[in-house]
Every structure is written in structure tokens, then in C-alpha cells.
Structure 1
Amino acid sequence: MIIAAVPVKDLENAKQRLVSILTPAERGELVRAMLRDVLKALATAAPDLVWVVTREPAVAAIARTLGAEPLTEAENRGHTAAVAFAQAEASSRGASVFLTVPGDVPRVTADELTQLVAAAIPGKPVFVPSRSGHGTNGVALAPPDTMTLRFGEPSFKNHLAAARRLGLTPRVLDLPGLALDIDAPDDLVTLLDQDTSTETGQLLHRWLNTSGQTEVRSRLASIAANPRPTGPLR
């Protein structure tokens, strides 16, 4: 059995690095759009179970609508704790493969997710780096308790080192859709440049082109005209 887990924070605390350009309501709308894009890709890739790890009712409702199962945390303790919670639950259910991706990678494709799952074999955990090369945007473990995962920069390098210390042979997949997580203003510009097909891309273009979103449009246009280097991510 293959189980995928997508941790999602409370909406009111989501995307703090975007507070300079998006209001709380806009950030919430962005998070919901990104999650729907990720869950649609997972639905097409068709693991046996997809969990959304959350304590947010609105997020749980989105999960159910798109065929995923909410896995409810008692409290929001961060990305690492959410993944560990899902890993333990996957092990208890006898899963053969555990896959985790974040909810903020709207350009991930079903083909990329299928590649990630297919690469996972016992003794060889699979990691997908973020666009910066510092974060970890995808992991596949066979079985789920192969190793402990700890997120937070520079988690990609740390995961490879931790796997080797355990005598494992980590594998790395470079998957461009999964690599692009939307954390900082420049990530929004990259998405605008690359994407009109996802719900998230369409949302950003609608903000740019709708007269009712004049303030958002001007902020995004300003960032696009003056991009800043993207820093380390997950």
C-alpha cells in the first residue's frame, strides 16, 4: 500500500513570508488554490491513500472534496511533526511506501509523483530538492519508518547525510514542478512566468488582470519588475 501525506498549516498562519504583498485573506486564497493543485496531481497519480495533515476545518473540507482523507493533528507543531505523525500512522497501517510533499507546490505533476514513488525501494530513500537546493520538497520511503525526517533549512543536505549515516543509499530526483514551492514573493513571479494552467497560476493572473484587484496587481507587478534573489526554503 502506498500512502501520501501533505502537511498544511493553519490558514491564518500560512505564508508569513508573503505578508508584505498579500493580505491574510489573499494568502488564504492562495494556500487553498495551491492545495487543490497538489491534490489533483495526487489524485491522478493514484496512491492508495492521500492524507492531508491539518487541524484546519477549511483545509479538511478541501481534502475530502478531492478524494483525500484529513489526518487531524491535536495541535499545529510544524512541518516536521506533521510528517512524523503521518509516517507513524502509515507504518501502523502496513504501508509499503510513504510519500510526502508539501501543499505549496502547485506545478507538481502526476508524472513527477509517479516517478517519486517508483524510485522508492528498501534501503534507498528518495529525495527531491527545492528550487534553491536547500530544502526538501519530496520524500519517498520504503517502508515508511526507514528514517526520521527533519525539515527546515538546509534539510536537503541534512537528509542525505542522515540517510548515509544509517547505511542507506539516498537517491535524488530533480523534478522541476515539485521543486517550485511558493514561499517568497519571487516565487510568485516565477509561477507567473511559467504557468497559466494550474488553479494557482490562474489565480495570480486573475489578480494581475482584474480591476477589482488593483492593489494586488500593483504589488505583483512591482515584484516582477524588481525581482530579488530567492533564499533558502524548506
Structure 2
Amino acid sequence: MEVIVPFSTDRPKSRLSGVLSPDERGEFARAMLDDVLDAVAAAGGEPRVLATDAVNVDPPVTVDDRPLTDAVNAALDARIGVDPEDDAGEGDAGTDGSQEPVAVVMADLALATPAALDRLFAAGRDADVAMAPGRGGGTNAFVASHPEFRVDYHGASYLDHREIAAEIGAEFVAVDSRRLGTDVDEPADLAEVLIHGEGRAATWLREAGFALDASEGRVAAVRK
């Protein structure tokens, strides 16, 4: 299964500006991207980075500097969209005539594991759309095979995507996963990486001097 991993090279992780410098945010974002790519590959996926500019990684890279919604929809059009010249009315179909699903997994899922992604991929092979919602109602990862499914990443996009699936008659299933539901955007999210992370992102934070602190009654990531 092809797995598209969107990645912004332009001012990455701006909401971490209170705790990380611009260069550090770039390094940390890259560490998370590498963790996600490793997890995707270990789960049997074929990752392709969808970046706003060139990025040096092993998997193939498609550069598209448009906003996230436009860039992902263009990728979906190319892979599962209906080809007007296709008499069968199908996009990129498999050898048995069924639609080949494509996944989209965000690059800041620092807690993603092969097991969590395998659950998502398996659900996406059975349903037209399988989606892992984020904690705040966003869309962190999904698999789609319905040729009419398209994304809209504004606001509580998970609810919007569930409605879009219903409008086009696509079978929709939610995949409840803490590891896929935790995207790293805010300083408070760094504690989750230190507690549960097992890859480059957690190592980067520790080497940058971050540690867990519970002195104020809650666990937080504090730079020593």
C-alpha cells in the first residue's frame, strides 16, 4: 500500500517556538518524519513524502507547495480518482479489478508504531475509508479507496471527513489509537514523546536537554 506522508519544510512546528529555536524545530520535525517513515515501512507500507520543498530522505519525494488540503487532494486524484477516459469508471485498480487503497499519515505522529499502522491499513482494506482521529478532532491518518473521497483539513476535520464519506456513500470506520491520535504540535505534547516515544524524536528531545518534570502536579517536558 502506498502511504503518503505530508511534510512541511517551511517554518515547521511553529507552535513549538516558545521552547525550540527555528533550527531546533527543523531538526525535531525531521526526527519525527524519520520515525514515521520507519514505522510505515516496518508495517509493510510504501512511503512517499509529500513535501513543500525538496527533502533528503530515502523514500520517493513529491514536491507540492500548495496548502495541505490541495496537495493531498491532488495526490488522491492521481491515485484513486475517477479517470474520465477510463470506460470502467475506476481509478488505479488492482489486478482483480478492486480499487487499490492509499494511505495518508502525518509526519508528526512521533508515537506511531508498526502495530498501530498495521491496524489502520487492515481496516482500510475492508472499508472505503478508515480514519484515525486526532485528540482535538483533527485527522492524523487515514486509508481510502473510494474514488470520490477528498479531504478538507480545516477545523475539526475528522467530523468533516466522516460527513464527506457519508455524502458519497463510502463505508467509513474509525480506528481508535492513542499512538496514531497523538500528533506533536504544542509544548505540552513533548511529554508524550518522552514517556511513550521509542525512536529518533524521543532521543532528540533528551539530547536537547528535555526531561520529565512533575513538580507542579502534572507531568511536563522541561528543558534542564
Match of 2:165 in 1: 163
- Aligned partners of 2:214, 2:167: CA distance in 1, in Å? 42
1:142 alignment partner in structure 2: 145
As a proportion of its length, which structure holds more strand?
A: 2
**Separation in 1, partners of 2:185, 2:15:** 6
Decide which of 117, 120, 123 is 2:124's aligned counterpart: 120
Shift of 1:88: 2.1
**Could you say what the CA RMSD is over the residues aligned between the two structures, in angstroms?**
2.5
Match of 1:30 in 2: 28
1:183 matched residue in structure 2: 185
Judged with a 3 Å threshold, the aligned counterparts in structure 2 of structure 1 residues 23 and 221 are, in CA distance, closer, same or farther, namely farther
Rounded Cα–Cα distance in structure 2 between residues aligned with 1:184 and 1:13: 14
- Contact 2:111–2:196 (Cα < 8 Å) also in 1: no
In the TM superposition, residue 131 of structure 1 has moved relative to its aligned partner by 2.2
Counterpart position of 2:67:
78
Report the counterpart of residue 87 of structure 1 in structure 2: 76
What's the CA shift for 1:39? 0.3
CA shift digits 1:33-76 (9 cap, x unpaired): 000000000111122x321011422x2x12x2xxx110122xx2
* Secondary structure of the structure 1 residue equivalent to 2:128: coil
Match of 1:69 in 2: 60
Which amino acid counterpart does residue 61 of structure 2 have in structure 1?
P
Distance 1:91 1:17, change over 3 A: same
User: Structure 1 residues 224 and 124, CA, compared in 2 at 3 Å: closer, same or farther?
Assistant: farther
Structure-2 residue corresponding to 1:173: 175
Higher mean displacement: 34-43 or 162-171: 162-171
Q: TM-score, normalised by structure 2?
A: 0.82
Equivalent position SS for 2:23: helix
**1:186, 1:227 within 8 Å by CA — same for their partners in 2?**
no
Supply the AA of the counterpart residue of 1:104: D
How many angstroms does 1:221 deviate by? 6.5
Q: After superposition, where does 1:206-225 map in structure 2 within 5 Å?
A: 206-208=207-209, 217=210, 225=216
In structure 1, how many angstroms separate the alpha carbons of the residues matched to 2:151 and 2:13?
Answer: 22
Partners in 1 of 2:108 and 2:178 — Cα distance? 14
| 5+ residue gaps, structure 1 | 209-216, 229-234
Moved over 6 A (4+): 220-224
1:154, distance to aligned residue in structure 2 (A): 0.3
Aligned partner of residue 13 in structure 1, secondary structure? coil
Change (3 A) 1:21 1:225: farther
Instruction: Report if the CA contact (8 A) 2:7-2:51 is conserved.
Output: yes
Query: CA 1:161/1:113 → structure 2, altered by over 3 Å: closer, same or farther?
Result: same
The runs of 5 or more residues in structure 2 that have no matched partner are: 82-90, 94-99, 220-224
**TM, length-normalised to structure 1:** 0.79
* Aligned ranges 1:39-54 → 2 under 5 Å: 39-47=37-45, 49-54=46-51
> How far apart in 1 are the matches of 2:214 and 2:189?
10
SS of 2:92's partner is: coil
Alpha-carbon distance in 2 for matches of 1:52, 1:109: 18
